[in-house]
Structures are given as structure tokens and as C-alpha cells.
Amino acid sequence: MKMGKIKTLLKSGVLLDLYFFKNNKGNFIAMLIWPYLMLGLVVGMGFLFGSPSTFKKNIGLNIDPIAYFIASTVVMMASISVMWEVGGNVLFLRWLGALPYVIVAPHRMSIILVLSYVPRYLFYTFIQVVEFLPLLVLLEGVTAGIIKTLIMLLAVTVGMLPLLGFSALFASLLLIIKEESNVLNWLNPIILIFSGALYPTSLMPYWMWLISRVLPTTYTVELARTIALIGSPELAPIMFLIGILMGLAVVYNILSYMLIGAGEKSAMKRGII
Amino acid sequence: MDNAIEVRNLVKRYITYERKGFLTKVKRIVEALKGIDFDVKRGEVFGLLGPNGAGKTTTVKIVSTLLLPDGGYAKVLGYDVVEEPCEVRKVIGVSLSVEKGFFWKLTGRENLKYFGMLYGLDGEKLKKRVEYLLDKLGLKKLGVADKLYEEYSLGMKARLSLARALLLDPEVLILDEPTLGLDPPSARALREFLVKLAHEFDKTVLVTTHNMFEAEMICDRVAIIDEGRILSIGSPKELKLKVADNIALEILILPSPATDLDRLVEVLIEETEATCSIVSDVNGYRLKLIVPPNRVEELTSISVRLLHKLGCSVRRVEVKEPTLEDVFIKVTGKKGF
């Protein structure tokens, strides 16, 4: 694929979001408030059942629970966002009646879904991470706060790469089946459970643990915890997880490139586009 | 290459499941297309005319690369729709529905810019093309180019849909029921624009409709399709002649006072071998001849010559052809409910 075409696809994604924000200011404000609402919910729930001291005791490290939850909230929200947006985009376009007009664009469907979404992801995530910077600086000091923010940015950017392919696989599934919204509703929480977002993967039965190893979200969750748990972040465990995520990115993006074509073909064969 | 679109023995079956009980479903195969053939010549407006469920939309979806056929093939400008879909997509513009397919929270201009970029246009080229189309389709004149799509009327949506189909300035336009639900002035404006596109800008247009009047107005050739088969194909005139057993020729005459009207009718029957009758009219007399469709021109000139010879002044000659609706009903054998 020519660079010019990649550029116009990326630009089309930017354009779409800029127009959405311009015409829906409330949407933009909601986007800004959303991360703090999520953090408030998670921390609020924590305070309901315990205190910062019990949190530190359970974790076994001297770490601020708010700083911990900032990192995990950002990475988790970014992961969910990729799965919902790339996978759900097919749904949204079908609902709008715009799917045929996207398919008749002279590019592959998987490339359109992924490339036109990347700018939105980077933009949303960057804003959300930067939004937490003042709070992190307040909690951990200027240097540690900035370093943690930068590492979070790196983590969510790298974490996005395999998730793009993974979510495009989702999209191909949604193209094939008819009750697509149901699938998106139940598949997302299951993936998060298998990824260790709710319970550590070490507590899972062996078969669940095996599945968790092939899910890219498992590593983004681990990355979030690693970043959150360390007072002054060490690069070695982070780089290890980033390496795994890069490897999975290659595998999932190749798979999605092949399978979304099959999904598209199946939908075209059955006449459900 | 004379043909812009070539369709041969196209077959499409849909598998549906009919619920028979709480847990049981019965598989049913619906044959939407049963081997259809047609060609669309470059620069012509070709209509697929048929009732609901005839196979029109299935055909245009296959030609637009949005549906895979189960047999046969379709080519657009020589590119196979199954083997070379990307090539086909570069030369076609598609409009499948006039009432949806855009982002509701974007304006008409923004929607066109987004789709233009998705289709590979950029920079000044995109800007110029969008402005040109907004102008050409009358959206600027209506003052709605910068209004949100959700505020558009159906007529405006139809114009925007056509504008999107024209973004890449495609050689072939594929339109599914482009005037469905439009008010008469909007429908007329759209029809006129389509004819102009084909004849002035040399575009090929494949259009589906079940509106006989529309088909007659805009199509150079029409294929009547029903239950997945093409029943008849040709120009509206050819189709009408094909089904007409006889055509009525009405001649308004003003005879001289000496003219014997009974003799006049006898002579006409003798010379033309047609059935002939005469009735008085406020403006003179109305002669009605029932003639075979292949001899309309010949018998018209014979009759006029004879009438002059017999001292009649010929005021008006009218050929009462069947309408496309007559053709449609005769060919499909359908009379409604």
C-alpha cells in the first residue's frame, strides 16, 4: 500500500473526529471528564471496602492506591477503547447504513478499520494520560510523575498495536454474525476476565491461564500493574512486556489482515452488508 | 470496449431460516437471481425495472462488489467484480439508499470530505471536487451544505448520496431506486441530472426502479426483471412495440362538405387492411385505425395521402402506443394484489 494512501486514511480518521467534536461539544467534554469519573469510581469503591493502609498491606509495597489506579485505569480504558471502537465500528457503520460505502472504498476493509481509528486512539489516550499528569506530580513529585506519565504513554501506544489486530478480528466476527451487539457485549467482559483485569491470572485454572497467555490484553494489564506498582519505574520488566506485545502485534495484525477478508467475504456471500 | 457492464448467467441464492417452532428452524433457499444476462453500453442509462423482490437490488449489489454471486460473472469496464473488486471500485460510484448512509452529526460538506478522503482524494483536489459537487447538485443553492445531515429532507439526502457517488468522477454510476420517496420536483430534478450525466458527461448509469414513468423518462434501455429472471430487454419504444399486438392510429380530419364519410372508411379499410371507425368530434371527425405495430409509419403515410385525395384536411395524427406499464403488466403477468 502506498504511503499517500496510508496518509489519506489516517487523515480521514482525524477529520472524522474533529468534525464530531466540533459538532458535539458535549461529547468532547464527556471525553475529558470520563477518565476522572472512572478513577473516582475505582478509588471510591476501594475506600468503601478498605483504606490506603490495607491496600499497601495487601499489595506488600509502599505505594499510593490513587497512583496505582491511575495507571491501571488509563491502560485498561485504552484497551477497552480499542476493542470497542475498532470492533464496534463495523456495528456503528452498519447501523448508519454507511458500511457499503466504506467497503466500496478502494482499500482493504481491515486497513480502513485500523488506520482510520489510530489517530482517534492516540488523541484520546494522549489527552487522558496528560489529564492525570498534575495528579501524579502532586502524588509522586515532578520527576517521578513525568516519568510515569511518559511510560504510561509508551505502554498504551505499544499496547495498542496487538489490540488493533485483535480488535480487527473482532470486527470480522461481527461482519459474519447477525446478533453482533450481543457478541460485543459478552465478549469484552470475558476477555477482560481472562486477561486478569479482575482476578490475577495466577489464580486461574490452567486452561484459563493458557488462554490468557495468547490475549494481548493480558500483557497490557500486566504492563499497567508493573508501571503502577513500582515507585521509580525500572525498565527491564517493562521492556520485557513491551517485547511480548510487539510480537503479538505482528501475529494479530497478520491474522486480522487474513481473516477480516474472510469475514468480509462471508458477509458478502450471505448478503448481510 | 463498447460495454461498460457485462453480466452473464448471474446466479444468487440466499439461505434463510424459517422458525417453525420454539426451537426448530427450517432452512430455505431463496433463488434471487436465476441466471440473468445483460450488457450496459458505455454512456447509456440502463434501467432494471421490476417489482419488489424481483432481484434488482441483488443485481446492483453484485455489480457494485458488495455481494458475491453463486454463479456466472459480472464485469465492469472489463474488470471482474469477484476477481478484481478493487479495480471495479475505482471506476464505479454507488448509491444504494437515499435516506441513510451518512454520519448524522456531520454536515453535508463534512460528510463528502470524509468519504472523499476515504476514497483517496486529498488537498486541493478534494476541496475542489466537494465544492463542485455541492454546487452541481444544488446543495449550495439550497443553503444546506453546512447543515447537519440529520436536518436534511429526503430530497437533500438524495442529492448528497448522488454527490458521494460522483466523488471519484467515476465512469459508471450504480443507483438503487434513486428517487424512492422523493417529492415530484426533487424526483424530476434528479432524473434530469441523471440524463445530463449520461449524455453530456458520458457516464454510464445503471439504475433500478419500479417507477414505469421514470424508466420511460430516463432510460435508453430497460430490462424487465421478475423473480430473478430477465423477461424482456430493449429500449422503452422497442419493448412497447414488442408487446403491442395492435396500435391505435388516431387522425383528426376536417372533411369537405362533399366527402362521403362511409366511402372514406371503406377506402381506408381496403387500402390499409386495418380496422377503421369514425366518430364526430368538436373539431371535425376522429378516424381510428387499428394497425399492426410494425406497419405504423407505412400505414400512417398511406392514410394521410388517401385522406388528402378524398378532399379531407388532416389536422392531427396521433399514435396511441401502449405505456411501459402495459408492457410490464403483460410481461410479468402481475396485476397487483
B147-193 confidence digits (pLDDT tens): 999 999 998 999 999 999 999 999 999 999 988 888 888 888 889 98
Instruction: Read off the C-alpha cell for B136.
Output: 452541481
Question: Strand locations in B96-220, DSSP E?
Answer: 172-176, 204-209
Q: What is the dihedral sign for C-alpha A73, A79, A83, A86?
A: positive
* Chain A contact residues (CB < 8 Å to B): 4-5, 7-9, 11-12, 15-16, 19-20, 23-24, 96-98, 100-107, 112, 116, 265, 268-271, 273
Instruction: Please tell me which residue of chain A has the smallest CA distance to B116.
Output: A12
- C-alpha to C-alpha distance for A158 and B233, rounded to whole angstroms: 59
Cα torsion through B306, B311, B315, B318, rounded to 10: -20
Residue A273 has pLDDT above 70, yes or no: no
Instruction: Read off the C-alpha cell for A51.
Output: 483504606
B15 and chain A in contact, CB less than 8 A: yes
A123 contact partners, CB below 8 Å, separation of at least 6: A14, A17
A20:B105 CB<8 A: yes
Better pLDDT: A67 or B123: B123
Q: What is the dihedral sign for C-alpha B98, B100, B101, B105?
A: positive
Instruction: Say which of B14, B100, B104 has its CB closest to residue A271.
Output: B14
B157 and chain A in contact, CB less than 8 A: no
| Per-residue confidence (pLDDT) for residue B247, from 0 to 100 | 81
CB contact at 8 A, B54 and B225: yes
| Per-residue confidence (pLDDT) for residue A236, from 0 to 100 | 78
CB contact at 8 A, B185 and B11: no
Q: Considering only CB atoms, which chain B residues are within 8 Å of A8?
A: 117-118, 120-122
B61:A11 CB<8 A: no
Least confident of A83-87, A216-220, B151-155: A83-87
A214-218, A258-262, B31-35, B248-252: which has the highest mean pLDDT? B31-35
CB contact at 8 A, B315 and B287: no
| Per-residue confidence (pLDDT) for residue B128, from 0 to 100 | 96
B114:A12 CB<8 A: yes
DSSP string, A7-20: HHHHHHHHHHHHHH
| Per-residue confidence (pLDDT) for residue B167, from 0 to 100 | 95
Q: A138-195 pLDDT, tens per residue?
A: 888 888 888 888 888 887 788 778 888 887 777 777 777 765 556 666 777 788 788 8
Instruction: Please tell me which residue of chain A has the smallest CA distance to B122.
Output: A8
- C-alpha to C-alpha distance for B241 and B10, rounded to whole angstroms: 28
DSSP string, A59-73: HTS---HHHHHHHHH
B122:A97 CB<8 A: no
Q: Considering only CB atoms, which chain B residues are within 8 Å of A6?
A: none
What does DSSP say about strands B45-49 and B284-291: parallel, antiparallel, or unpaired?
unpaired
Cα torsion through A20, A25, A26, A29, rounded to 10: 100
Q: Considering only CB atoms, which chain B residues are within 8 Å of A97?
A: 97, 100-101
| Per-residue confidence (pLDDT) for residue A229, from 0 to 100 | 66
